[in-house]
Amino acid sequence: MSAPGFSLARRLRAGETVYTAWCALPAPLVAEYVAREGFTCVVLDQQHGMYEIASTVAAIGPVRHAGASPVVRVPLNDFASASRVLDVGAEAVIAPMINNVELARRFVGVMKYPPVGERSWGPARAAALAGIADLKDYTRDANDMTLALAMIETREALDNLSAIAGMEGIDGLFVGPFDLSIALSNGAVLDPYSKDVDAALDVILAAAAKHKKIPGIYCANAEAGLAAAKCGFKFIAVGGDVAYLRAGAAAQLKALNIESKSATGKSTLPPI
């Protein structure tokens, strides 16, 4: 893998712990400013966030120019979007609810060129953003320099974990701890720090180590992110743009001796 414009896969495969921002607001300027603060990469969320293909394309360039690696979480079962965001410059794709071998195979199929998958060819924008002049060079290295991250967030995924982790072309396992807590409690509990989730994390980390895959996880805040790193996770999402915005506003209000709405319970948004 020699392409200088793609760094995320190289850093993670070297064993580096990478913290990524998470952006749900479909505002490329927000993603750019978050990147400029120093995050290694920025995830643009098309599943539960409000990013669509136009805003994703508009954000990937500024994120890269700000010095960060652009990553996209695609919508549920939208494998066509996975291939498309690679073509416009994403360095990694997170696919939700990869619950079994067939879904993992479909994900690999759109993420990797032959002989690993069946990705359709059209990476002109990705190559241009990365400073790769010859598209043959991009094509030669693409399977190694882009990452397919399969989300593990259901009982079914845990039951099929070894087969998913062992599949060629799946580069990493990315844990959705909130959904996982719902699944493991049969819908009774939303608690990403529950004992059941902790036990599942140990199993996922072991599977990632056995099959030499990158372990990743979403964390609500920096404290949880540091704890995840100590456990062995390497690709760690921390918070999100809405939380960053609200935290900054709350800090200013506190300095002005004005109580924020989140503190009084009047806010219509979830807590940070």
* pLDDT value of residue 3: 53
As a whole number of angstroms, the distance between CA 91 and CA 149 comes to 11
Same domain? 264 vs 137: no
Q: Is residue 2 assigned to a domain?
A: no
* pLDDT value of residue 218: 98
Strand partners, 99: none
**How is residue 50 written in tokens?**
């409000």
In the predicted model, residues of the chain with pLDDT beneath 70 are 1-4, 263-272
Q: Which domain holds residue 93?
A: 8-239
Question: Is residue 65 annotated as part of the catalytic site, yes or no?
Answer: no
Q: How many CB atoms lie within 10 A of CB 210?
A: 11
Q: Is residue 219 assigned to a domain?
A: yes
Q: Is residue 89 assigned to a domain?
A: yes
**How is residue 228 written in tokens?**
């995840």
Number of domains composing the chain:
2
* pLDDT value of residue 5: 76
Q: Find out whether 197 and 218 touch, Cβ atoms under 8 Å.
A: no
Helices (H), the chain: 8-13, 28-36, 53-65, 79-87, 101-111, 124-129, 135-145, 155-159, 161-165, 177-184, 195-210, 222-231, 241-255, 261-264
Same domain? 162 vs 203: yes
* pLDDT value of residue 271: 40
Same domain? 171 vs 199: yes
* pLDDT value of residue 260: 81
State the chain's mean pLDDT as an integer. Answer: 94
Same domain? 130 vs 264: no
Query: Catalytic one among 11, 48, 105, 140?
Result: 48
Tens of pLDDT, residue by residue over 177-209, are: 999 999 999 999 899 999 999 999 999 999 999
Q: Is residue 38 assigned to a domain?
A: yes
CATH number of domain containing 45:
3.20.20.60
